[in-house]
Amino acid sequence: MGWTISHGIKNTRSATTIHNLAQHLAHVLPASDWRTIETVFGDRSGDPFRVPHTDARQIAAVLRRGASHRKMPADWGDLAREFADAAQKAANARQSWEWS
C-alpha cells in the first residue's frame, strides 16, 4: 500500500518507507517530540486521515528538528524535510494535511 500525501509530496510513499522514516525519527527525537508526530507516523490502520492545520504546524517543526539531528542519516533527513515542508504548506494555507 502507498500513501498519497497532500501539499507537495510528489510521489506516493510506501507504508514501508513511512515506517522506516518513523523508526529513524523515533531514534533521534525526545519522547515529547515523538508524541507530537506519533498520530501521523505511529501505527496506522491504512485508512485515509487528515491532520488539522494547527497540528500540521507543530508536526512540521518536529520533523525539521528530527531532520537536522546529527544522528539522522542524510537521505532520511531529506525525506523528513520534504514532509515538514508539506505539513508547513498545509498549515500556512490553513488546510488539513491529507493522507490517503
Q: Where are the beta strands (DSSP E) in 1-100?
A: 2-3, 13-14, 49-51, 97-99
Q: 42: pLDDT confidence band, cut at 50, 70 and 90?
A: confident
Span 47-79, pLDDT tens digits? 899 999 999 999 999 999 999 999 999 999 999
User: C-alpha distances in angstroms, 4 versus 16, 47, 89?
Assistant: 14, 12, 15
Model pLDDT, residue 98 = 96
Q: How far apart are CA 24 and CA 95, in angstroms?
A: 27
Model pLDDT, residue 61 = 98
Q: How far apart are CA 90 and CA 24, in angstroms?
A: 24
Share of the chain above pLDDT 70, in %: 98
pTM assigned to the model: 0.94
